Amino acid sequence: MLRPDSYIVVLGAGESGVGAAALAKKKGFKVFVSDSSSIDSIYKEQLESLSVAFEEGAHTTERILSADLVVKSPGIPDKAPLIQKLVANGVSVISEIEWGFYFLEGGELVAITGTNGKTTTATLTHHILISRNNNTLLAGNIGDSFAAAVAKRPSANYVLEVSSFQLDGIQDFRPHISVLTNITPDHLDRYDYSFKNYIGSKMRIVKNQTTEDFFIYDADDQVIANEVESRSNEIAARLVPFSCEKKLNQGAFLEGDHFKIIIDNQTFTMETSKIPIQGKHNLKNTMAASTVAMIKNIRREAIKQSIEGFTGVTHRMEVFEEFSGVRFINDSKATNINATYFALESVKRPVIWIAGGVDKGNDYSALMPLVREKVKAILCIGVENQKIVETFNKVIPEIHELSSLEDTVAMAMRFAERGDTVMLSPACASFDRFKNYEDRGDQFKQVVRSLD
């Protein structure tokens, strides 16, 4: 239990860390922020305006070990020597979403996780829920960190996108409605290269839920289905599945050219053709978001109108330009194989595929059927592209490695014909040449728009 004079240390001074510091400062605690790297000027200014002490470029171990509680940014692994030393010294280390949860004042919490689809599902869920209650905020990995948002609006309702890294550091964090979109191998370097460990991290979203809460999940995802079955005695929340492959007595499912949701005696039905975001994965994202809305008693007409007016998420299958009949899609948020699989699956035109970045142990062979069917050329933008080239060079004659986005887009235009799609869907992280996936996507859009 924290005392009024407790000393809070925040490790990491990005969006998450500065948000945690702002909340700690507002609650009257003594706060210190430490970042082993340099701190971005925008975050320095925020810390200075809050009168929060901070250091950058190194950690002062003695100062950190004297903390009553440490709030860890999600990018710092549990295996980091400093974290191990804190734990060995009996200092509690939590994630920023746990810290925000401590100070939530009565608002309901919807938390959405999954290897892919969580950003779209969270954004669409928020888009629907604010049609009824504008005191519903979107936070977590989107926009403000949860802690920063709670510092400003502690009694609001929240829709959170949460990652496995954030879930690793929870103790009491309890969403009223949790959503798990899918689980496929990702970030395995963080989990001892064990898919089982990664699955366990994702399943922590139901850890503290009770019989009063709801767990919405993809029943077609065999990994999740197996976990739900094996943990039947552990999961207290009410199970609400969604499926594109089978009819369900309760939950969301396909029925002809409609999808239907049944929860108790309440039913919602909508034509799938009226969903503006295309692809099977987006149908599932829409099912999940609509199921949340049904649980929250949003009017059926408001759900339909919100879905029909939803245009998608920036950097996720974002159709942003078309020149001479060539369509350009920014899917920079596709940082793993599964996300790119969904992207290729949903595109109906021939594709010039821009791929590569920081490889996370990818096995590109899963993409082979779609690449054979749809891809005309592969343009690699990563520093190390050997695995992509070796996987596809026998089926795609045009594979090229480029050193800049300008050269990449210029070459794409050489291959593209009217009716084709040029798609950036890297299947890799972005840190080799870009600040993050947003920077990668923004630069891609800027280069394409300079063609006009």
For 10-39, write each residue's pLDDT tens digit.
Answer: 999 999 999 999 999 999 999 999 999 999
The CATH code for residues 318-449 is 3.90.190.20
Cβ–Cβ < 8 Å for 186, 336: yes
Domain boundaries, the chain: 7-97, 104-308, 318-449
Residue 411 has pLDDT above 80, yes or no: yes
Q: What is the pLDDT of residue 143?
A: 80
Q: Please give the pLDDT value at position 60.
A: 95
Give the number of other Cβ atoms within 10 Å of residue 435's Cβ.
12
SS3 state of residue 226: helix
**Which whole number is the average pLDDT over 253-262?**
96
Say what percent of the chain tops pLDDT 70: 100
pLDDT at 261 over 80: yes
Model pTM score? 0.83
Helix (H, G, I), strand (E, B) or coil at 392: helix
pLDDT at 185 over 90: no
Q: What is the DSSP letter of 417?
A: -
Q: Are 420 and 351 in contact (CB under 8 A)?
A: yes
Looking at per-residue confidence, does 360 or 423 come out higher?
A: 423
Does residue 86 surpass a pLDDT of 70? yes
Asked if 402 and 379 count as a contact pair (C-beta separation under 8 A), the reply is: yes
| 407 pLDDT above the threshold of 90 | yes
Q: Say if strands 251-255 and 69-72 run parallel, antiparallel, or are unpaired.
A: unpaired
Instruction: Work out the pLDDT band at 219, boundaries 50, 70, 90.
Output: very high
Mean pLDDT of 166-184: 96
Q: What are phi and psi of 217, to 5 degrees?
A: -150, 160
Helices 222-230 and 195-203: angle between axes, nearest 10 degrees: 70
pLDDT at 282 over 80: yes
pLDDT of residue 1: 67
pLDDT of residue 383: 83
Model pLDDT for residues 357-377, shown as the tens digit of each residue: 888 778 899 999 999 999 999
The one-letter amino acid code at 414 reads R
pLDDT in tens, 294-350: 999 999 999 999 999 998 888 988 988 998 899 999 999 998 898 899 899 989 899
Work out the average pLDDT over 247-266: 95
Amino acid identity of residue 7, one-letter, is Y
AA identity, residue 363: D
What are 34-60's pLDDT values in tens digits? Answer: 999 999 999 999 999 999 999 999 999
- Pick from 192, 105, 207: nearest CA to 156: 105
pLDDT at 182 over 90: yes
| Mean pLDDT to the nearest integer, 75-96 | 95
Domain 104-308 listed as CATH 3.40.1190.10 = yes
pLDDT confidence of 142, banded at 50, 70, 90?
Answer: confident
What is the pLDDT averaged over residues 91-106? Answer: 96
Residue 277 has pLDDT above 90, yes or no: no
CATH H-level superfamily of 7-97 = NAD(P)-binding Rossmann-like Domain (3.40.50.720)
pLDDT value of position 348? 87
Question: What is the C-alpha separation between 101 and 175, in angstroms, rounded?
Answer: 9
Q: How far apart are CA 2 and CA 104, in angstroms?
A: 16
Min mean pLDDT across 182-196, 230-244, 279-293 is at 182-196
Q: How far is CA 309 from the centre of its chain?
A: 22
Reply yes or no on whether the pLDDT at 141 is more than 70: yes
Determine the residue type at 373. Answer: E
**Is the model's pLDDT at 452 over the cut of 80?**
no
94: β partners: 71
Give the E-state strand segments of 96-229 in sequence order.
109-113, 136-140, 157-161, 177-180, 214-218
Residue 67 pLDDT greater than 80, yes or no: yes
Contact criterion met (CB below 8 Å) for 136 and 155: no
Higher pLDDT pick, 71 / 345: 71
